[in-house]
């Protein structure tokens, strides 16, 4: 059933190769090159994430593998229409994948916890055979102990609705309806687990295709961290860390009052187990490395940049389930100022902060805080040539034209090596700037007239105001290589 139903077409920021490099570098592992690498996604779906990352990293090679032929056909057609040449999609059963090139990244989202043990074993074989010596693997999965609490809800939903009809969508809708019906009657389980109400409410907001894949898979299996770590160690991998980045700092990712647990950080297995219990973890994005090389120089050479339009530095930031992070402006502002115009590697940032009178320890702590709170992000190391920027702009225009028919869209960024979420209005302004620079406002008004927003005379003022508001953001888009 799941093989014929398309998965939701979603872009996942967690699959960003530069985030994986950053986590590994922070932990002292050897890391792949930031611009020329090979990246493979198992269970790539319709290729949304892979296509964006391929466009944003033109010197790298990307491979997507999925069993669903509709996924692969869609991905191939979209990549071709966008002019993306460094990405290939393969329709295949993972248990029958025989030959892949050496990959610096092998990633998967959700897949591992949805499939039969034979498929998981095949995944292990692919990683053992095809992950490069300094390669990184990303495995996301449903996790215990969080799922111990909500697993009965999945059981109830499936038991009620599986096989009701031949229509999987109808059955899934009935399953959610049954949970809502149970909630209204407040049985003993709901009384014992008050948070079940919010879980069911969130469930009802998901795309039904997501519900079918996530909750109706026959081999749906959550794992504890210790189970996963043991399995990965058996195939020669070492645990590196988690996404998002802040989960790799014990003093931040544990709520206040758990300082005593920090003494366990050197014992990774015990610390991660306690951390998951304290945070009631339901899902993990775990990064594993094939090597155990300890090289802190890798972090010093990591390139960081600001990839958002505006930063409003607050004195205190509280991330989900975490202790507060205090951001002392005196230590953090010099780093942000250094990165405002251009990206820099870590050692240059620290040197710049030292010139401003900040100690190396304070500067490093401030830099990590900015990374954990995503004020700054890891980005590719090389500076693109004029030729590659021009080629990128032509490709970016095709993404923007797609965005004109979407409420929300993701476009690639050559600067960040990742994607940027934009709306239709932003796409319109960017196309006007890039393609109709001589008369952007008039072109916007003409487009609005054609789309039925009103006669040209009635929309020209609206177009004028919108564009003049937009031009204040041009420095950001120029940095992102769009204009």
Q: Per-residue DSSP letters for 223-261? A: B-HHHHHHHHHHTT-EEEEEESGGGG-HHHHSPTT-GGG
- Cβ neighbours for 222, distance < 8 A, ≥ 6 positions apart: 113, 141, 142, 143, 144, 147, 151
Q: Which residue has the higher pLDDT, 311 or 446?
A: 446
**Dihedral of the CA atoms 244, 248, 249, 255 (nearest 10)?**
60
Position 253 pLDDT exceeds 90: yes
Q: Lowest-pLDDT range, 84-88, 296-300, 345-349?
A: 296-300
CA distances, 173 to each of 163, 164, 167, 224, 370 (Å): 13, 11, 10, 29, 42
- Give the per-residue pLDDT at 1: 47
Pairwise CA distance, residues 460 & 443, whole Å:
9
* DSSP bridge partners of 327: none
Pairwise CA distance, residues 156 & 154, whole Å:
5
Percent of the chain scoring above 70 in pLDDT: 97
Residues 81-91, mean pLDDT to the nearest whole number: 96
Q: Lowest-pLDDT range, 86-95, 144-153, 210-219?
A: 210-219
Q: Lowest-pLDDT range, 160-169, 381-390, 410-419?
A: 381-390
Contact 418, 307 (CB under 8 A): yes
Q: Sketch the domain layout of the chain as residue ranges.
A: 13-144+222-289, 146-215, 302-378, 386-479
- Give the per-residue pLDDT at 289: 96
Percent of the chain scoring above 90 in pLDDT: 75
Contact 9, 48 (CB under 8 A): yes
- Give the per-residue pLDDT at 266: 85
Per-residue pLDDT band for 295 (boundaries 50, 70, 90) equals low
CATH classification (class only), 13-144+222-289: alpha beta
* DSSP bridge partners of 61: 38
Residues 99-125, mean pLDDT to the nearest whole number: 94
Per-residue pLDDT band for 326 (boundaries 50, 70, 90) equals confident
Position 297 pLDDT exceeds 80: no
Per-residue pLDDT band for 221 (boundaries 50, 70, 90) equals very high
Pairwise CA distance, residues 334 & 321, whole Å:
29
- Give the per-residue pLDDT at 5: 58
- Give the per-residue pLDDT at 418: 97
- Give the per-residue pLDDT at 379: 95
Q: Per-residue DSSP letters for 3-57? A: TTSPPP----GGG-HHHHHHHHHHTT-----SSS-EEEEES-TT-HHHHHHHHH-
Residues 417-436, mean pLDDT to the nearest whole number: 96
- Give the per-residue pLDDT at 341: 73
Looking at every residue in the chain, the average pLDDT score rounds to 92
pLDDT digits (tens, 9 = 90+) for 197-210: 999 999 999 889 88
- Give the per-residue pLDDT at 338: 85
pLDDT digits (tens, 9 = 90+) for 1-21: 455 555 667 899 999 999 999
């Amino acid at each position: 059933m799941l093989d014929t139903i398309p998965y939701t077409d979603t872009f996942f920021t967690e699959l960003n190769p530069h985030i994986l490099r950053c986590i590994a570098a922070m932990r002292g592992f050897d890391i792949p090159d930031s611009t020329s690498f090979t990246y493979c996604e198992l269970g790539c779906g319709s290729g949304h994430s892979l296509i964006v990352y391929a466009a944003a990293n033109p010197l790298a090679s990307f491979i997507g593998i999925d069993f669903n032929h509709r996924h692969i056909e869609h991905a191939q057609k979209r990549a071709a229409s966008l002019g993306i040449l460094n990405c290939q999609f393969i329709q295949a059963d993972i248990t029958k994948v025989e030959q892949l090139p050496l990959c610096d990244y092998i990633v998967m989202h959700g897949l591992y916890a949805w499939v039969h043990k034979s498929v998981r074993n095949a995944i292990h074989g692919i990683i053992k055979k095809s992950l490069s010596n300094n390669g990184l693997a990303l495995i996301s999965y449903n996790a215990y102990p969080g799922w111990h609490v909500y697993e009965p809800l999945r059981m109830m939903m499936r038991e009620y609705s599986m096989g009701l009809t031949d229509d999987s969508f109808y059955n899934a809708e009935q399953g959610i309806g049954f949970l809502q019906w149970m909630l209204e009657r407040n049985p003993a389980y709901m009384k014992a687990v008050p948070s079940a109400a919010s879980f069911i409410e969130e469930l009802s907001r998901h795309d039904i295709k997501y519900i079918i894949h996530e909750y109706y898979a026959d081999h749906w299996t959550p794992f504890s961290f210790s189970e996963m770590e043991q399995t990965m160690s058996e195939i020669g991998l070492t645990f590196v860390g988690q996404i998002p980045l802040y989960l790799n700092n014990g003093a931040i990712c544990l709520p206040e009052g758990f300082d005593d647990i920090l003494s366990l950080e050197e014992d990774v297995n015990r610390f991660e187990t306690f951390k998951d219990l304290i945070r009631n973890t339901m899902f993990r994005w775990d990064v594993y490395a094939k090597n155990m090389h300890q090289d802190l120089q890798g972090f010093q050479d990591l390139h960081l940049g600001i990839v958002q339009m505006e930063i409003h530095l607050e004195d205190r930031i509280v991330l989900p389930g975490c202790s507060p992070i205090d951001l002392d402006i005196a230590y953090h502002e010099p780093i942000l100022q250094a990165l405002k115009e251009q990206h820099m590697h870590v050692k240059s940032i620290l040197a710049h902060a030292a010139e401003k009178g900040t100690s190396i320890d304070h500067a490093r702590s401030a830099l990590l805080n900015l990374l954990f709170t995503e004020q700054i992000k890891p980005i590719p190391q090389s500076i693109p040539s004029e030729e590659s920027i021009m080629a990128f702009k032509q490709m970016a225009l095709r993404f923007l034209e797609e965005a004109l028919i979407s409420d929300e869209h993701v476009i690639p960024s050559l600067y960040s090596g990742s994607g940027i979420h934009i709306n239709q209005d932003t796409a319109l302004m960017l196309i006007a700037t890039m393609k109709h620079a001589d008369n952007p406002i008039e072109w916007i008004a003409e487009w609005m007239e054609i789309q039925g927003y009103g006669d040209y005379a009635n929309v020209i003022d609206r177009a004028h105001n919108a564009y003049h508001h937009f031009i204040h953001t041009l420095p950001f888009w120029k940095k992102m290589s769009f204009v």
